[in-house]
Amino acid sequence: MDFNMKKLASDAGIFFTRAVQFTEEKFGQAEKTELDAQFENLLARADSTKNWTEKILRQTEVLLQPNPSARVEEFLYEKLDRKVPSRVTNGELLAQYMAEAASELGPTTPYGKTLIKVAEAEKRLGAAERDFIHTASINFLTPLRTFLEGDWKTISKERRLLHNRRLDLDACKARLKKAKAAEAKATCEGDTVPDFQETRPRNYILSASASALWNDEADKAEQELRVAQTEFDRQAEVTRLLLEGISSTHVNHLRCLHEFVESQTTYYAQCYRHMLDLQKQLGSSSLSTACLAWTLTGSLAREATRRARSLSPTWNCLAKQAPSQAPAHSGLGRRGWVQPCHLSCLLVTQLLRVGKLTPSHPAPGPPAARGPRG
């Protein structure tokens, strides 16, 4: 118990001394031991590496998992040392919805068949994305986290210890400086010839004893300064070695970055291959659909022509024209016949016009040919 109290009192004294030294340095009332320029450059390089590593890590996590709630959940699972549950990717979820839509809307229809094909492609894309996220997390994110949670914490701890050693060293320097100043003042007072008429002899004796006390205090301060200087130099060397290890950290991160680029290239190559296969499948399906639409359009056009001829005798003049009288329209064929794709619009217009005539009113005859003008 006594040992613990003594240690606690000693720690409190050291903390108070450091606090006083730090405060005096902030107000410019105490000298501060400066580190060499190379050491300062190493510190700045380490801080820059730590800051940019945090930013790269955070943005890569956003790239791999855009959902912030999912990222928070994964972070909590990692802190609790529990396995992160498997999560369905967006591509796989879209594939599931498309497959369900195809089964409900009809898997044998052209739309249903296309939904099934696209769903299979999206499922493969989701699987490729899952592999990419897993590979990138292991080969890229894990080394960055290891540096921030391992190496950087060690560097920060040693830097704080170096800062404390530097405060102890400067406090010892200030104590030695004060002790020497007091010793010099006491020595000057002791060397002065006393005037027994104005000063009592006991003051001279006290000055001599004070000079001896300050001499002992200066010797003690010098010894503490040597110890503090040794501890500071040792801690500075340890911190320097850790800071120089940032170069090997850069080499490791460079290798991880190459692996990340390789995995990303593989992922996008797989996506391109899957989409190219899907495009080929949809291309053949689109050709079949176009042929079916052309056939249906031709059938509808023939049916509409039949109905139009039965309703109006003037239809023959509109559906077929002489090449010399045919208007310059892209819907006319080589022999003057109206193409089926352009015939539908004309049929609707003429049927509306003919529908206005009743059976009791005969349809007007063909328009008389106009003679040449003037």
Contact 139, 263 (CB under 8 A): yes
Instruction: Show me where the domains of the chain are located.
Output: 46-287
DSSP 312: -
Question: Residue 317: which residues within 8 A CB-CB, separation 6 or more?
Answer: 366
Q: What is the separation, in whole angstroms, between the first and last Cα of the chain?
A: 132
Amino acid residing at 64: L
Burial track 222-232 (b if 16+ CB lie within 10 A, e otherwise): eebbeebbebb
C-alpha count within 13 angstroms, C-beta hemisphere, residue 214: 22
pLDDT at 218: 78
Cα gap 246→226, rounded to integer Å = 31
Beta strands in 46-134 (DSSP E): none
Assign 332 to helix, strand or coil: strand
pLDDT value, residue 18: 81
What pLDDT sits at residue 48? 97
pLDDT digit of tens for each residue in the chain (374 aa)? Answer: 555 766 677 667 787 788 888 887 787 777 888 899 999 999 999 999 999 999 999 999 999 988 888 778 777 877 777 777 778 888 999 999 999 999 999 999 999 999 999 999 999 999 999 999 999 999 999 999 999 999 999 999 999 999 999 999 999 988 888 877 776 776 665 555 455 455 445 454 545 565 666 677 778 888 989 999 999 999 999 999 999 999 999 999 999 999 999 999 999 999 999 999 999 999 876 555 555 555 555 555 566 556 656 655 554 554 454 444 444 444 444 444 444 444 445 554 555 455 543 444 444 444 554 555 54
Look up the pTM and report it: 0.67
Rounded CA-CA distance 31/182 in Å is 19
pLDDT at 328: 47
Phi, psi of 99 (to 5 degrees): -65, -40
The CATH class, in words, for 46-287 is: mainly alpha
Residues 179, 221 contacting (CB under 8 angstroms): yes
